[in-house]
Chain A
Amino acid sequence: MSDQFIYPTPNSYLEAEMKISMDIELNDIPGQLVRALKPVSDLGGNILSVLHQRDKKTPSGRVPVQLVFELEEGRLEKLVEKLKSEGMQVVRIGKERMKDSMVVILIGHIVHSDIRDTIDRIDSTGFAEVMGLSLSMPGVDKKSSASLVLSAIGKSELKDALGILESTAREKGIMVISPI
Chain B
Amino acid sequence: METDDRTVRLTIVGFGHVGGGVAEVVMRKHHAIKERYGLDLRIVGIADIKGVVTNERGLSESEITKFRLGDESVMAEGISTRDMIKELDHELMVEATPTNVIDGEPGLTHIITALESDRHVVTSNKGPLALQYRRLMELAGRRGKMLRFEATVGGAMPLISLIRNNLAGNGIISIKGILNGTCNYILTRMAEENLPYEHVLREAQEIGIAESDPTKDVEGIDTAVKLVILANTVFDMDATYRDVKVRGITDITPDALKLAHDAGYTIKLIGEVDTTGRLEVAPRLVPIRDPLDVSGTLNVATIKTDLAGDITVIGKGAGPIEAASAILSDIIGIYDTGQSQTKHLQ
A175 to B253, CA, bound (A): 11
Contacts of B263 in A (CB 8 A): 103, 147
Is there an interface contact between A178 and B259, defined as CB atoms closer than 8 Å? no
Which of A2, A107, A179 lies in contact with B251, CB distance below 8 A?
A: A107
A-B contact count (CB 8 A): 62
Number of interface residues of A (CB under 8 A): 19
Contacts of A179 in B (CB 8 A): 265, 284-287
Which of A103, A144, A175 lies in contact with B255, CB distance below 8 A?
A: A144
CB A103 to nearest CB in B, in angstroms, measures: 4
Indicate if B258 sits at the interface (CB-CB under 8 A): yes
CB A136 to nearest CB in B, in angstroms, measures: 4
CB A26 to nearest CB in B, in angstroms, measures: 37
Closest B residue to A147 by beta carbon equals: B259
Indicate if B110 sits at the interface (CB-CB under 8 A): no
Indicate if B32 sits at the interface (CB-CB under 8 A): no
Indicate if B176 sits at the interface (CB-CB under 8 A): yes
Indicate if A145 sits at the interface (CB-CB under 8 A): yes
A175 to B259, CA, bound (A): 14
Is there an interface contact between B262 and A177, defined as CB atoms closer than 8 Å? no
A57 to B176, CA, bound (A): 43
Which of A2, A105, A136, A175 lies in contact with B285, CB distance below 8 A?
A: A105
Contacts of A105 in B (CB 8 A): 256, 259-260, 267, 285
Indicate if B247 sits at the interface (CB-CB under 8 A): yes
Is there an interface contact between B256 and A107, defined as CB atoms closer than 8 Å? yes
Indicate if B201 sits at the interface (CB-CB under 8 A): no
Is there an interface contact between A2 and B265, defined as CB atoms closer than 8 Å? no
Contact of A175 with B251 at beta-carbon distance under 8 Å, contacts A103-B265, A105-B256, A105-B259 already known: yes
Give me the interface of A with B, judged by CB distance under 8 Å: 2, 103-105, 107-108, 134, 136, 138, 143-147, 175, 177-180
Give me the interface of B with A, judged by CB distance under 8 Å: 176, 247, 251-253, 255-256, 258-260, 262-265, 267, 270, 272, 282-287, 290, 292
| Shortest Cβ-Cβ A-B pairs, 5 listed | A145-B256, A145-B255, A147-B259, A136-B255, A179-B285
